[in-house]
Structure formats: C-alpha cells, structure tokens
Amino acid sequence: MSDPAELIDPLVSELPKWLPTQRWFGGKDRPITSVRPLGTTVLQEGDPLLLHMIVEVYQGDRMAPYQLVVASRDQLPEYLGSSWIGTERGRPCYEATGDADVTGRLLDLIAEGADVGSLKFRHEPGAEVKGGLRGRPITSEQSNTSLVYGNSYILKLFRKLSPGENPDLLLHRALQEQGCEHIAPLLGSITGDLYGEPATVGMLQQFITDAVDGWAMATTSVRDLMADPELPPDQVGGDFAGESQRLGQAVAKVHNDLRRALGEQVAEAEHLDEVVKIMQARLDSVAQVVPELAEYAPALRAAFEKLRELSGPVPMQYIHGDLHLGQVLRTVTGWLLLDFEGEPAAPLAERSALRSPLRDVAGMLRSFDYAAHQMLIGQPEDPKLTERALEWSRRNRDAFCDGYAKAAPESIGDPRSQVHLLRALELDKAVYEVAYEHANRPEWLGVPLASIARIAEEASNP
C-alpha cells in the first residue's frame, strides 16, 4: 500500500451501512445521513495496516463523533470475515478489534508511553504495564469495546466520544488515589484530540480473573429459590442476602471515597426543582408512547412533586450514574464496581453533574427487582412464584440497604429513611425502563410496570 490516506475516503463511504450493524452504535433509531472523517492516525504500517479513526456520524440534525480502529490486509483470513467493512482499492478493510495480530499494538504503545500523531498512550504514574500480549474482545461488549490481554489487562475503547476526560477515567483515578478497594486497578489511558481538546478514547485496567458478575450470581440465586418453592429463603442453598449486604457496603464505601476525592454540595431548592422537571418531562414523553403508563401518571407525578418538600439538606456528589447488577463483579476478595461512565444515552454534562448518591442505590434496587422477576417472563401467571420473586426482591433490597447504611456517613444514613427521595428516584428509573422495554423487549414491559404499580400503591398507603 503506497499511501494509507487513499483508503480513508472510500472506507468512510462504507460506514453508513456498516455502523448500524455494530452493537455499540448508539444511533440505531434513525438512518445515518453521512459520515465524515475527523482524524486518522496510522498506528502500524505495512500488512496488516492499523488505523485509528475518529469520525463524525450525522443522522439528520444530530451528530456524534465515534472512535474506530480499522485494519487492512492484502488477504483477509477467514476468521476475520465477520469483521469485514469493505474492500477499498483492492484491499479488504475490517474492524481491527477482532484481529489479535494487531490489537497487541495498542497495549505496546501504552507500555511505551508513546505519542503517535495526536494520540497519547500513557500508563498511570507508578503503574507497570508490559506489552507483548495479544488482545481479544470480550463477547459481553455493550456500549463500548473492551479488549482482554491474557490474564493481565483489559482495555476499553470508548466508542461515542465527547471532548474532555471521560467520567469513567476521572472517577477511577479519583477512587484509586483514595486507595479504594472496590474498583479494578487503573493502569493507563489513551487520549485523542477532539475539536482541539483532549478527549479520553481508551482506559486500561487490571483484568480480574475468577470474577462473576452480580447479575449472574443474583439470577442463579433466584433460580434456586424458584426450584424449591417450599423452603424459606434463608435456607435455600443460593441465598444471596449476605452478598447483597456486602455489595451495599461496597457501594457506600465507593460513595465515601468519591466524596472525599471530589467533594460534595447540598442541593439548592432550584436544583430540586430542576430534577422534578426532568422527571416529569421524562414521564410525559414516555406516557405518550406507552399507553399502559398513563393510569399511573398522577401517582408518579405526585411522588416526584414530593421532592420539592424535602425537609433536610440533600447531599449531592459524584456518583456511579448507571449502577446495576451487571456493573459489579464478585471477586475472591469482595465486590468491585465497574463502568463509571454513567448512562450512555445521557449527555455528558448530565453524567458528570453532582447528584444524590441515592440515585445509585435506586438503580441497584431496581436491578434486584429485575433479577427476581426475569425468570417469570413469558411464563403462565403463577401467584406462588410471583410471591417468591417479590420475597427474594424484598429480602435482597433490604440486605443491600442494611449494608449501605452500615458504611454510609450519618449525613446519608439508611437510604430507606429518605422515603420520598428514594421513591422518586426509583420511579424515575422505572419510567426509563418502561421506555427501554417498550422499544427493545416488549415482553419485559410488565417488570417495570408492576413495580410502578406496587410503589405507587405503597405511596398512597404509607
């Protein structure tokens, strides 16, 4: 290949077709109108050629920059067929994260602390990073793409980019400086240039082996309980309450460290007013599309309004922002929290704003509810099993709150004592879930709707 630059224009013209087939691509709701290259860096010359690209993806009046790593070879081996993007100037171009022959280059550059074009590959001060390993993508990839190197490292490549430091990196760094035990150690980062500003494009952490994610553990416990419906929950082999309690403690400790590192504020009345408005607006827009939500709208509105009357001060701080059982790992020593990027769909300003730590608690409580009910989806109604699911959910939600209360400072205390705040946050999350399930998994819609019905009922009969 004489000049890699010759590949770029034809390659970019393939992207409107290819991007929507990628799981991490966040704009599947609208057609792509055009894609423009913002910056391309050659990471490795020759065959295979490795390119780092930032492209602008336009969808009508909406635009978002995305990160791509693309490779090209004279001959595409069969195992890379599914990564193929297009054949430009006679050369097959493909998504590089599936090619273990080239992914090692990204780790090597971090180990070297290299600058390539406007990309800065760095290890954290004091961290030792060794190159020479091949990286393979994890299959559970969601909003981003993570590469695992042997048993040692995991490199997350952020897909949708924003100028500035990604909250995932910022919060991991802050927690690491506090000596927090509940995160995977941060080892390095990759920073690119976005509109003249530095932007985080990658984050390297220690890969934790022998870990199980919280969702898998929780749903196994639910399955055990359902398999033996006569046994009391504390006598079932897979009782999860002890884990839930430790998880609650871990979350509170992470909040304590975030507060120590990055400070806290007390919410002003105007802020709470703004929060209520955002919750109401979300409710209005979801109720328009999901008619089943309409009957609960008055109760939801009343629960949100209660935030304006909160008596004591409401502490605000940096939080995880998208906490659920799929974002926590149980290792041999305890619980780790992953993925501090916040809700991927939310704007960066919202994700990095100070918020009530109870928002994370509410996220986890919703997740317990989901874990309890997921087995019943698509099954014929069985009151006994429904009761069991509720029982599991109640037991584990309480255990989580017990753990949280144990480690939280007095200013926050037991999340359950902040009835109105916790209820509003949980309902707001459930409204979000209603929208999500309606759009993606209609058969799950009953899970958040049943919770909304139950919480609304509790609110009217305190």
Does 200 contact ligand ADP by CB under 6 A?
A: no
Residue 168 is a binding residue for Mg ion (CB under 5 A): no
Rounded to 10 deg, the angle between the 269-289 and 419-440 helix axes is: 30
Q: Which listed option, Mg ion, ligand ADP, none, makes contact with residue 184 (CB within 5 to 8 Å by class)?
A: ligand ADP
- DSSP-assigned states of every residue in 340-360: TT--TTS-HHHHTS-B-THHH
Please report, as residue ranges, which positions from 295 to 354 form the binding site for ligand ADP (by CB under 6 A): 326-327, 338-339, 341
Among 38, 116, 127, 208, binds ligand ADP (CB under 6 A): 208
CA distance 379 to 393: 18
Owner of token pair 């509170």:
252
DSSP letters spanning 3-66: -THHHHHHHHHHHHHHGGGSTT-S-TTS---EEEEEEEEEEE-SSSEEEEEEEEEEETTEEEEE
CB of 352 to ligand ADP, least distance (A): 16
Rounded to a whole number of angstroms, the minimum distance from the CB of residue 422 to ligand ADP is 25
Residue 197's DSSP bridge partners are 194
Cα distances from 297 to residues 286, 365, 370, 455, in angstroms, run 10, 21, 21, 12
Count of C-beta atoms within a 10 Å radius of residue 175: 24
Separation of alpha carbons 305 and 332, rounded Å:
44
Q: Which does 208 bind (CB under 5 to 8 A by kind): Mg ion, ligand ADP, none?
A: ligand ADP
Closest distance of CB 407 from ligand ADP, Å: 22
360 binds, among Mg ion, ligand ADP, none (CB under 5 to 8 A by kind): none
> Least distance (Å) from Mg ion to the CB of residue 339?
4
Site for ligand ADP contains 156 (CB under 6 A): yes
Binding of ligand ADP at residue 400 (CB under 6 A)? no
Residues 129 to 148 in contact with ligand ADP, rule: CB under 6 A: 138, 140-144, 146
The angle at the Cα of 260, spanning 321 to 158, to the nearest 5 degrees, equals: 35
Q: Are strands 145-149 and 135-137 parallel, antiparallel or unpaired?
A: antiparallel
Q: Which of residues 237-276 bind Mg ion (CB under 5 A)?
A: none
Cβ nearer to ligand ADP, comparing 259 with 320? 320
For Mg ion, which stretch binds (CB under 5 A), given 65-73, 122-130, 337-345, 370-378?
337-345
- Contact flag: residue 207 with ligand ADP (CB under 6 A): yes
Separation CA 285–CA 271 (nearest Å): 21
Among 108, 239, 339, 426, binds Mg ion (CB under 5 A): 339
Say if CB 105 and CB 43 are below 8 A apart.
Answer: yes
Residues that bind Mg ion (CB under 5 A): 142, 339
Residues that bind ligand ADP (CB under 6 A): 138, 140-144, 146, 154, 156, 184, 205-208, 211, 213, 326-327, 338-339, 341
